[in-house]
Amino acid sequence: MIHSKIVFLHGLQENLVKLVFSAFAENQNLTAISTKASESEQIKALHDADFIMIYRANPSPEILKSAAKARLVQLLSAGYDGLNLQLLEELGIPCANNGGANSCAVADQTVLSILALYRRFIPVDHDVRTGAWNAGIDGLNTFELAGKRVGIIGFGSIGQQVARRVQAFDAHVFYFNRTPLSHALETQLDVRYLELDALFKTCDVISLHVPLTQQTHHLVNATRLNLMKSTAILINTSRGAVIDEAALIQALMNKQIAGAGLDVFEKEPVDASNPLLSMQHVVASPHSAGTTSDTWIRRGSFARQNFERVAEGHAPLCVIHAS
């Protein structure tokens, strides 16, 4: 694969590009092209690429069509809603996501969001800094994960990492997935499958780990929010539009649910006037759950291994398809 041309189309800083490239051989034919480059420059870079990596980029149809030689488009992200998968399939170019390279990072932040809400960490931190010692704690408004029912929607690599982490806090894990696990694997992982409505009705924490597709758009809507316990919290580290944000705002304002941890929003960057940002029972972050210094070499390593598979005549791993 040494002589294969690999092009990285990205929206990253140069130091992060170097980290990704460090997973490849020094004599590998690697080219980086920023999304800040003109469309014609991107087309020129990709037209003779054997393999393409993409991160924080939404290439136009013209750019994708120019990549006539490409044997695989490899995303360095788990999500793929910004990419024209239908066109890639028409062009006969397979596309793969990152194989769980950022699953630990996202799972860590999921648990962080749960604990921050349960322990009122952000408002309590503010109270301490402003001299209101213990003002926000009444003895009844903070909680433990132990014994709670955590419902995980989407039980792939990230969902399973979340399960392992909350089980370490003695929580009970329930899950919904498009394809349920075998009974043997459920037993091994100590998890139980529930249909969506039952999961929303019975779980104390609901955590979303699904891609954004036509089927998952507004999966969490007013009807499902109405099913939740008034003491339940909702965590979203997947994609903003998996939740009907207007319905969530109403549910939180009306105290239908107890809180939300949001790494993603329907519109990004989120508008500073969004009502969610003024709520003490919401913790928010800038779509950064999967971004840690530890992930970049893992992302690059998975891409390299997938390119090597294809170069050796094998099918790539973690291929995704247009829904």
Of 214, 210, 282, nearest to 245 by C-alpha is 282
Among the options 239, 281, 298, 304, which is catalytic?
A: 239
Task: Give yes or no: 287 in active site.
Answer: yes
CA atoms within 13 A on the CB side of 184: 0
Q: Which helix (H) or strand (E) holds 65?
A: helix 61-66
For the chain, where are the E strands, in sequence order?
5-10, 29-34, 51-55, 72-75, 95-96, 149-153, 172-176, 191-193, 205-208, 233-236, 259-262, 282-284, 319-320
Q: Where are the alpha helices (DSSP H) in 265-323?
A: 295-311
Is residue 3 annotated as part of the catalytic site, yes or no?
no
Rounded distance between C-alpha atoms, residue 202 and residue 180, angstroms: 19
Q: In terms of Cα–Cα distance, which of 27, 28, 9 is closest to 73?
A: 9
The closest of 77, 71, 101 to 212, measured between CA atoms, is 77
Q: Which residues contact 132 (CB under 8 A, 6 or more apart)?
A: none
21: its two tokens: 């490239």
Q: Which helix (H) or strand (E) holds 197?
A: helix 196-202
Catalytic residue chosen out of the listed positions 217, 287, 308, 309 = 287
Q: What length does the chain have?
A: 323
Give yes or no: 239 in active site. Answer: yes
Contact 301, 294 (CB under 8 A): no
Q: Which residues are known catalytic residues?
A: 239, 268, 287
